[in-house]
Amino acid sequence: MCGIIGITGREDAVQGILAGLKRLEYRGYDSAGLVTNDGRDLRVTKRAGKLENLTRALDSQPMTTSTGIGHTRWATHGAPNDRNSHPHLDPSGRVAVVHNGIIENYQALKAGLGDVRFASDTDTEVTAHLVARELDAQDAPDLLLAVRRVVAQLRGAYSICFVAVDDPTTIVVAKHEAPLIVAHADGVGYCASDVAALIDHTRDVAALLDGQIARISPEGVEVFDVDGNEAEPHRYTVDWDLDAAEKKGYEHFMLKEIHEQPQAVHDTLLDRHTSPSPGEPPRLHLDELRIDERELARIDKVFIVACGTSLHAGMVGKLAIEHWAGIPVDVEVASEFRYRDPIVDPHTLVIALSQSGETVDTIAAASHARDQRAPVISIVNVVGSTLAREADGVIYTHAGPEVAVASTKAFTTQIVGTLLLGLYLAQVRGRMYATETADILTRLQQIPDAITQALNLDQEIRELAQRYHDVDYTMFIGRHAGLPIAMEGALKLKEISYLHAEAFPAGEMKHGPIALIEPGTLVIALAPAGHVFAKMVSNIQEVKARGASILAIGTDGSTADLKEHADHVLTLPEPPHELAGPVLSVIPLQLFSYHVATLRGEDVDQPRNLAKTVTVE
């Protein structure tokens, strides 16, 4: 989704901004722009389309300036064209703004300005007008004060940055429900919507908290609350290096991230089971816990809230928590959760799953739960993100930065995170012997090697993709732990190849979806050995009888049988535990989607219409 980078205090600010925007490209966008401030003019250059269009436009009018802000826009209000791209100026051209999020009351704010012409259809532009008016009304123009007064009028979600021609080395930024990072290093001040844009310059950053406003200059960064009192942001050090954010020889980030899964899962499992003090038996622990374990022991119901791929990981988590901890679990699309009346009380645990930790729907669902005094545990990848900060407990999925829009390594590590949480809840509730927990954890350590074996199927999968990359419709079926993976397989295929794909519980086929099967329909069936295997075989036979082509994903123990019924069988190693099976069975589906999309010539890392971090509702 939209990206922001601001720099003040270095002569080549424009180059720095362009490099920062490049690092933010993965978030998804449809136009890009920047403004420079030399104390005489604010010069705005912006173009619809890819960053190259902006770079080309700047080549024809080179600029040197020490202060500027840049933006990649993912359109919400107004078409993705040059006019609606950020930055936006006030009519006198003295104030410029870039903004991520949505100003919900922009119509009312516009109406309040009277008969004023607007240069765009955006919700954002009005804020530049308002800040300019505030500055006009002041005897000694103070950008910080003007922004403070304006943001007090805004409703909605925003991370928003202003520059004013009267104050050429200052950037003022404000944050509410959309991430904003500030930093200062070597006499240069920075702001960005995502640490990826700052990693070239510094690892020591601070995430603003909701309601905070910061003044950034070459001298430093000052942070204030809405009333103008000094405030403390969340300071942290980024623990991954630049290498992790590069392609390292892979053609796409997605492929690189698929291949990073053995390491990512290994890192997520690392050091989870240690003795609280010397001589004591080891215990499973969370990364951060701000809640008494006795309170967690009293939990009688769990909700898992998440979106998209993270939701599918949550569906595996449900199976693990119910199986090990014996607590009923509901998995719910985060954007639905708070708009009904979920029965949530202090004995309900809400688990929020998110790669970014910044998905606005998931944040809103978690805060809705906290309003009902329910404890919240988040499973997140991005350290210091909103969901990590606001939860009572956190499990980090140490996947490293995930750049491709289509989530892969975040997904498998999220599943591992939910397995750990299931075991942890079993531990605090006394549902499992310590030896049993230790045994399962030891077995889970085998997952990285098993993923490596699954990745070895790549060539076989590429050949299958070659054969099927033109089919219009693919159906995925699964049962038990195979169902979330069927859903994830269908999501991966549609989001990067734009082919129609759907997933169904295999047992539901005869209640309707089987009507879709006609000769040649591709059905991908998740069929590992296990307690539902025989049922899966029956479902495969049903679709086969209607002429479907079957690609079955089996395991060592199931493929002999599958070969009798399926057109193609991919064989995975047996997982070290049935509930860890999804971590393996998703690998061929990730690779299949990747190859189908590349064979179709699609932009795998930045699929159309999609954004990496969804910071609007």
- How many binding residues for ligand F6R (CB under 6 A)? 14
Asked if 257 interacts with ligand F6R (CB under 6 A), we say no
- In angstroms, give the least distance from the CB of 390 to ligand F6R: 14
296, 319, 522, 614: which one binds ligand F6R (CB under 6 A): 614
Cα 437 from Cα 425, distance rounded (Å): 11
**Whose Cβ is closer to ligand F6R: residue 162's or residue 594's?**
594
Nearer Cβ to ligand F6R (10/612):
612
Question: Which distant-in-sequence residues (6+ apart) come within 8 Å of 116 by Cβ?
Answer: 91, 110, 129
Q: How far is the CB of 231 from ligand F6R (least distance, A)?
A: 26
Q: Are 213 and 194 in contact (CB under 8 A)?
A: no
- Identify which of residues 178 and 216 has a Cβ nearer to ligand F6R in the complex: 178
Q: 175, 409, 492, 612: which one is catalytic?
A: 612
Q: How far is the CB of 384 from ligand F6R (least distance, A)?
A: 14
Beta carbon nearer to ligand F6R, 431 or 498? 498
Region of 148-156, 262-270, 356-364, 369-377 interacting with ligand F6R (CB under 6 A)? 356-364
Scanning the structure block, which residue is given the tokens 């009192």?
A: 229
Distance of closest approach, residue 354 Cβ to ligand F6R, in angstroms? 3
One-letter amino acid for residue 145 of the chain: L
CA pair distance 440, 446, nearest whole angstrom: 10
Contact of 189 with 66, CB cutoff 8 Å:
no
Question: Which CB, 87 or 384, lies closer to ligand F6R?
Answer: 384
Please give the residue whose beta carbon sits closest to ligand F6R in the complex.
308
**Of the ranges 342-350, 353-361, 543-551, 581-589, which one interacts with ligand F6R (CB under 6 A)?**
353-361
Query: 308 in helix, strand or coil?
Result: helix
193 near ligand F6R, judged by CB under 6 A: no
Residue 491 CA to residue 407 CA, distance in Å, equals 10
What is the tally of helices (H) and strands (E) in the chain?
20, 27
Contact 132, 94 (CB under 8 A): yes
Q: Which of 2, 161, 191, 307 is catalytic?
A: 2
Query: In the window 365-424, what residues touch ligand F6R (CB under 6 A)?
Result: 406-407
Quick check: is 2 catalytic?
yes
- The yes or no reply on residue 354 touching ligand F6R (CB under 6 A) is yes
Backbone angles phi, psi at 429, to 5 degrees: -95, 5
Shortest Å distance, C-beta 406 to ligand F6R: 4
- In this structure, is the dihedral angle defined by the CA atoms of residues 239, 241, 244 and 246, taken in order, positive or negative? positive
Tokens representing 193?
């919507």
Query: Per rule CB under 6 A, is residue 307 in the interface with ligand F6R?
Result: yes
547-573 core/surface letters (b: 16 or more CB in 10 A; e: else): ebbbbbbbbeebbebbeebbebbbbbb
Part of the chain binding ligand F6R (CB under 6 A), chosen from 163-171, 303-311, 477-485, 546-554: 303-311
Q: How many CB atoms lie within 10 A of CB 430?
A: 8
Segment contacting ligand F6R (CB under 6 A): 50-58, 244-252, 355-363, 555-563?
A: 355-363
Residues 125, 267, 390, 495: which binds ligand F6R (CB under 6 A)?
495
Let me know: does 105 contact 156? Beta carbons within 8 Å: yes
Select from 31, 72, 356, 378 the one that contacts ligand F6R (CB under 6 A): 356
> Is 612 an active-site residue?
yes
User: Which one of 159, 348, 355, 549 is in contact with ligand F6R (CB under 6 A)?
Assistant: 355
Q: What DSSP string describes 453-494?
A: HHHTTHHHHHHHHHHHTT-SEEEEEE-TTHHHHHHHHHHHHH
Nearer to ligand F6R, 36 or 355 (CB): 355
* Catalytic residue annotation: 2, 612
The residues binding ligand F6R (CB under 6 A) are 307-310, 354-356, 359, 362, 406-407, 495, 613-614
